[in-house]
Amino acid sequence: FISSQYPACSVEVVGEEGLGLSRECWFENSAQEKTSRSSIRGEVERLVSPEKLVIVDSPCCVKGFRYELYCISKQARTPHCLLMSSVGLDKVIQWNEKREGIKFRE
């Protein structure tokens, strides 16, 4: 959709997997979580520009981290939007049971 409506705009997705990080690192220990946040922040700073739509696919559960991303977008003079997904616990458990490989602990 974005490409058809805004052909000059490129889309970049920033997340743990693209940076070689484990998605579970947010929940394993605080040192790994801090390193992951730093890596994601750096990648967003590198990519953000008026010509790009940068999507951060990451559990931005730390309020300060969300504010840092907001400040990065404002410094680059680009719009900022935060989308949060609200899913019931029963659905999350069902999705976790279907996961292959490492599953999140309850």
Say what the pLDDT of residue 12 is.
Answer: 85
Place of tokens 């979580």: 33
- Model pTM? 0.70
DSSP states along 64-92 = HHHHHHHHHHHHTT-----------HHHH
Mean pLDDT rounded to a whole number for the chain: 79
Give the C-alpha separation, 24 to 32, whole Å. 9
Tokens of 75: 């410094």
Q: Per-residue pLDDT for the chain (106 aa), expressed as one digit of tens each?
A: 667 777 778 888 887 766 666 666 556 677 777 888 888 899 999 999 988 888 888 776 778 888 999 999 999 999 888 877 788 888 878 887 887 666 566 5
